[in-house]
Chain A
Amino acid sequence: MTAQILYAFITIIVGVGGCFGYFYGSNWLLDRVLPADASNDASAVRNLKLQAMIRPWLFLGPALLLLTVYLIYPVIETIWLSFHGKAGEDFVGLSNYVWAFSDAQFRQSIFNNLMWLLVVPAACTFFGLIIAVLTDRIWWGNLARSLIFLPLAISFVGASVIWKFVYDYRGEGQEQIGILNAIITYFGGDPQVWISLPFWNNFFLMVILIWIQTGFAAVILGAALRGIPEDTLEAATIDGAGPFKIFYRIMVPQIMGTIIVVWTTITVLVLKVFDIVLTMTNGQWNTQVLANLMFDWMFRGGGDFGRGAAIAIVIMIAVLPIMIWNIRQANAEQGGH
């Protein structure tokens, strides 16, 4: 055990140290090879210029390298695979895409994903905003926000157990251990099998993601709310605006930028959502979503990489509008300074 901890410690030091080492080493080398305090002015100026040209790439290099290897290369490989058959060897043209759009499950997933996209980011932002506004004005607001943030720290395995105790179903007349059914039966209703309830079961799964992500929204929006200048609010109060008017007319527009960021982040997350569906229903009872469908086709029962890849490409294309919007934002800001 001690030996293992020692190894772990050394491994960590070596790994993190290596990273520090690169940045120090490469910059030190640059300063050494092209000294800024060179003997004559001309070469010093030239060196400085060269330094300014090279240094950004020293800074950016590792990031670009890693992004290329870990994300860009797989994306290209996936695009290539999506035009190929099961084992990724024979070229099949567009037939994987043709198959996808004629597949009932795929269409079901698109429909479900759209519902997720409409509901989850909106709900998270909405609840996040409400919670942020309310907790901003009470002395135990920080504690409250922390409690709401808590689900974000729970692994998906943990979350699925937690929700098992909410959605669990036992036959009529038996003691329910799922709280939702316990409440229903307490008021005289019939217990329901929530996760297989047609159509609505999608919403019961969404609730889990909303539960997890609202904390994220609340914390960020809460911080943004505090950034609103005090006098703006005071002025509005003096003008006789009511609390709701202040909320809609002053607060929301002031933090619109943050709201959009939160919305976007959660939207991207929703498109990649897969763990919740996998652990709760594995896409059965018409709860399939694209990311889980892709996982299914890629790895289950021997795997069909062509079809899996085609679905992955569809997911990426689906987020294209959000990407473009984000890039515009980044570029607009770029022009700013």
Chain B
Amino acid sequence: MFKKISLEPSRFALHFAVLVIIILWTLPTAGLLISSLRDKNQLAASGWWTALTSADRNQVGRMKGKADQGEKDGKFVIEGNLFEGADAVSGKVSAFGTKVQNPGANPAGSTVELEGGQTLTVNADGTYVLTSPTAFENDRGGRVFYISSQPPRFTVENYETVLFSQGIGRSFVNSLTVTIPATIIPILIAAFAAYALAWMKLPFRGLIIAIIVGLLVVPLQMSLIPLLKLYNAAGTFMGVPSKTYLGIWLAHTGFGLPFAIYLLRSYIAGLPKDLIESAQIDGANDFKIFRRIILPLTFPALASFAIFQFLWVWNDLLVAIVFLGSGDDQLVLTGRLNALLGSRGGNWEILTASAFVTIIVPLTVFFSLQRYFVRGLLAGSVKGG
């Protein structure tokens, strides 16, 4: 939407300013995205902004052991390539050394004398030749340190680790089972309540509104134990488990209701009065008015609340674990990813990828509801609360 008003110092400066802000805001997330696609060794070794450049890195390789030795010109020889092997990386050796303290002691291609008359040559392509006047005796070869130029490496392995980990599918379904009703139920209940508070005649209306607004500020952590006690009592009384989906839906509904009613009431109260009055004259009762007129008109506000509630429930961990449980069968996605990190908290590659995996669903929801979102909150807030 354009507004041709005359606060235009210069179009260019404007675009530039916005661009700078956007870059500042997305930089952290961009860092995460790039990090999640990097090789896990490079991830921990260098900043994500260097992802595209190849860098000189100190590496360690291990030579072959005695099993691979051969004899040549009266000497025992072990030959091989440092870039071979399971987790070796490709690149170009610029210098090498045999002591960990000084990995770049000798330029590539040179030959160094080691103890006991041994000599070692390492070439730029990673091939090495180790010779000795006596037979090699160690099963495990010695270490060679080298500096090599590492090309940047991008990979989707991190995502594979996360997506194909045990139980992730189940957790995904659990998360949806929790989130969908926990988004829809409060919307319905709040919409009816909001309509009643905005347009219906009832005693104590002001007081009820005041209490609901006041409840906005209750920190939910403190309600965990009283509620869980209640659930256990109810569960024992009715002979059902105390940690059920119904329980968590209602918990999320309860916690989300004050904001929902607050938001929806001010929106519904802002709807044109004649619309409702003319419907009443036509003989429609409030239930009909609500279904036929209010619900369709309130759709933008409903959508905007849906986004907030969806984001909140989807990203929630605490309520899910307390009211649904942390067993393998009940874990929601956030809980599963948390468990995946578990004792291996140092694995940043899993963290980065899993953070993006959890973002995907809420982002889809956000973008599909975004149009309504803006309109819904606008009408609610312009009225001033």
Contact = CB atoms under 8 A, between A and B. Distances in A.
Question: Are any A and B Cβ atoms less than 8 Å apart in their complex?
Answer: yes
A316 B218 contact: yes
Contact of A272 (B6, B219, B348): B219
A135 B173 CA distance: 38
B237 to A, nearest CB: 15
B15 interface: yes
Contacts of B257: 63, 66-67, 70-71
Nearest to B215: A71
A326 B214 CA distance: 8
A150 B290 CA distance: 34
A233 B2 CA distance: 13
Contacts of B378: 220, 223-224, 226-227
Interface in A93-147: 127, 130-131, 134-139, 141, 144, 146-147
Contact of B273 (A70, A244, A337): A337
A326 B261 CA distance: 14
B204 to A, nearest CB: 10
Interface string B7-46: 1110000110110011001111101100100000000111
Contact of A243 (B7, B22, B26, B351): B7
Contacts of A266: none
Nearest to A168: B47
A60 interface: yes
Interface in B270-309: 273, 285-287, 290
B192 A157 contact: no
Nearest to B195: A59
Nearest to A274: B221
A274 to B, nearest CB: 7
Given A161-B348, A261-B384, A305 B225 contact: yes
A104 to B, nearest CB: 22
B217 A157 contact: no
B208 interface: yes
12 contacts: A4-B170, A19-B188, A27-B287, A56-B202, A66-B253, A77-B226, A134-B14, A149-B366, A162-B29, A224-B381, A309-B222, A329-B385
Interface of B: 1-3, 5-9, 14-15, 17-18, 21-22, 25-29, 31-32, 35, 44-49, 169-170, 173-174, 176-177, 180-181, 184-185, 188-190, 192-193, 195-197, 200-202, 205-206, 208-223, 225-227, 230, 245-246, 249-251, 253-255, 257-258, 261, 266, 269, 273, 285-287, 290, 311, 314-315, 317, 334, 337-338, 348, 351-352, 354-356, 358-359, 362-363, 366-367, 370, 373-375, 377-378, 381-385
Given A62-B193, A71-B223, 10 more contacts: A8-B177, A52-B286, A66-B257, A67-B211, A70-B227, A150-B25, A154-B359, A220-B377, A260-B384, A298-B222
